Amino acid sequence: MKFNSWYLSSFLISFFVLIPIITVFTSFFESTSNYYEILKNTFLIEYIFNSVALLISVLICTFLLGTGTAYLVSFYQFPGSNFFKWALILSFAVPPYIYAYSLTAFFENYGTAFTILKSLFGDANYNKSIPKFDGMFGAIISISFSLFAYVYILVRASFLYQSQNLIDLGKNLGFSKFKSFYKIILPAARPAIVAGLSLVAMETLAEFGAVDFFSINTLTTGIYNSWITFDDLAFANRISFFLLLFIFSLFILENLSRRKAKYHFNSRGGFKQKEKLELSGNKSVLAFVGCFFVFFMSFLFPLSQMLYWTIKFPENLFDLQVIDLLLNTLYLVFLSSLVLIMFSLLSNYGNRVSNNKTLNILSTLSISGYAIPGVILAIAFITFIAWFDENIIKSLGFLSIKKIFIGSILGLVLVYFVRFYSLAFNGIKSGYEKINISVDESAYLLGFSKRKTFMNIHVPFLRNSLLFIVILISLEIVRELPITLILRPFNFETFATTAYISASEDLLEAAAVPSLFLILIASFFIMVTSRYILRESND
């Protein structure tokens, strides 16, 4: 075992990322105040029930939406099929909370639906006949349409690599199309489906904005509320602990299934390019309508509702300091990507050269930050800083460090770092896997130092992966809400926080403008990377 500086830095980075997770686990054993003991027990049951109900419904919806559309665009040719192939991932640009605003704006009493009916059919009280998509139902729809693309992308990729032989097999057995779909195609894509659904599950459990908007008490909002309403950090941490256990089992499940998925992707022996079936007549119309419905609901609907409101209440456009918000958002994106890329490179390289088991385990654990809700991370961060400040810094006689970390850009970027570390780490790791270790060895033989190998050989090799990662991080940070909300400094807003605050203050119309900008920026990032996301490049 070599304790060199690479090893050390790699170790420190992983350890830093683990701090919030450790904080949550250690506070589990602190006693909670018994003031609200009875109330809390009732709440806990409600939180768990709501979380489970939300989770199961969203999983069913995203499964149907994701695999359905993936199946259509992978196996059939119909009008627009090439367009839908990438247009369906635009739904990523609409975070669940913005979807929730659109849903409410459209269906509420005297909302947009009412206006449309009124202008079509004249004056009447249509309110009672307009369905109301709020509460649990609204949350399920918002989250499902916003997240189904996880399933879509992974399942489509798996369909793409399914050998034509498999499909021929079905035909030879005399299976109907439906039968070969659920007997052969679907089971073969199972690892991808599980991987997609576990991502959806993690995001659903971590979801804050939409669930909070519809005032549903889930474990995640419960953590936030018990921290805020009951002043009970210990209880908040206790709920976090339950949630984390839940998430970790998902995480492990996802990792296992991904391992299997890899196996599938690699077995390309006898790979035969699939012939897409050309649909005609009613069937092609049906396929078109199906995909268009999903595309419309997941992207066009929220986009046009926000656009409509921006036009209807133009004063909000002029009130908003768009340039400031844009600069703030880009500033965060720039700093976070820089830090994430730098440290993930370092840590990956450290892992590579030290090839140490402990380090491998540690870094596997440390990428779990992505599975932890932003609310928990932010709270754990504050808890840790407060503890560290009280017990270590002050007892050594130094000035308080709280202000440096809480309510500062530094603190914000640090927590983003923990949350999105896995994105950067895994991205670079998969890039590294393509650089054979013999390349390093040749470099050493040529007399390159480790640093020189890293700077002159690895970094240029990884350039494409790095670009992709930067865009992914940017997409996440543009949409990120709870961490920014809790930790941002004075006079500092992003599109996400502005939208959220306006919406929570019953100024939904004012939330439309920042939401619109957010969707547009995120769409831009998606379009830039769609080639990578859809795995159609040689990458």
In terms of Cα–Cα distance, which of 423, 416, 433, 417 is closest to 351?
Answer: 433
CA distance 147 to 99: 11
Least distance from another protein to the Cβ atom of residue 412, Å: 10
Residue bearing tokens 């991205």: 427
Smallest separation (angstroms) from another protein to the CB of 182: 39
Nearer to another protein (CB atom), residue 251 or residue 500: 500
Record the tokens describing residue 41, joined without a space.
Answer: 């027990």
The amino acid occupying position 454 is F
Smallest gap from residue 460 Cβ to another protein (A) = 19
Site membership for another protein, residue 382 (CB under 8 A): yes
Q: According to the binding rule CB under 8 A, does residue 326 interact with another protein? A: no
Burial of 170 (C-beta count, 10 Å sphere; 0-12/13-18/19+): middle
Q: How far is CA 201 from the centre of its chain?
A: 10
**From candidates 266, 436, 491, 537, binder to another protein by CB under 8 A:** 491
CB of 474 to another protein, least distance (A): 17
Taking the mean position of all CA atoms in its chain, how far away is CA 354?
31
507 contributes a contact to another protein by CB under 8 A? yes
Query: Between β-strands 76-77 and 277-278, what pairing exists: parallel, antiparallel or unpaired?
Result: parallel
* Region of 146 on the Ramachandran plot (φ > 0 left; ψ -120 to 50 alpha; else beta): alpha
* Candidate residues 41, 82, 125, 360; the one interacting with another protein per rule CB under 8 A: 125
Q: Is 110 in the site for another protein (CB under 8 A)?
A: yes
Segment interacting with another protein (CB under 8 A) among 56-64, 365-373, 395-403, 426-434: 395-403
Strand pairing partners for 477?
none
Question: Which one of residues 330, 365, 509, 524 is an interface residue with another protein (CB under 8 A)?
Answer: 509
134 binds another protein (CB under 8 A): yes
CB of 135 to another protein, least distance (A): 6
Shortest reach from residue 344's CB to another protein, in Å: 16
> What is the secondary structure of 120-159 as a DSSP string?
HH-S---GGGS----HHHHHHHHHHHHHHHHHHHHHHHHH
Token readout for 292 is 């268009």
* Cβ-based nearer residue to another protein, 276 or 312: 312
392 counts as binding another protein under rule CB under 8 A? no
137 binds another protein (CB under 8 A): no
CA trace torsion 193, 467, 19, 476 (10° rounding): -60
User: Which among 19-27, 191-199, 251-259, 486-494 is the span making contact with another protein, rule CB under 8 A?
Assistant: 486-494
CB atoms near residue 535 (< 10 Å): 15
Rounded (5°) CA angle 183-188-192: 130
Q: Is residue 19 part of the contact set for another protein (CB under 8 A)?
A: no
Should residue 39 be labelled a site residue for another protein when binding is judged by CB under 8 A? yes
Q: Verify binding: residue 477, another protein, rule CB under 8 A.
A: no
Of 372, 451, 362, 380, residue with least CA distance to 12: 362
Residue 139 or 519 having the CB closest to another protein: 139
Query: Binding of another protein at residue 259 (CB under 8 A)?
Result: no
Note the residues at the interface with another protein (CB under 8 A): 35, 39, 42, 108-111, 114-115, 118, 125, 127-128, 134-135, 215, 225, 227-229, 231, 312-313, 319, 331, 335, 338, 382, 386, 400, 402-403, 406-410, 413, 485-486, 488-493, 497, 501-502, 504-507, 509-510
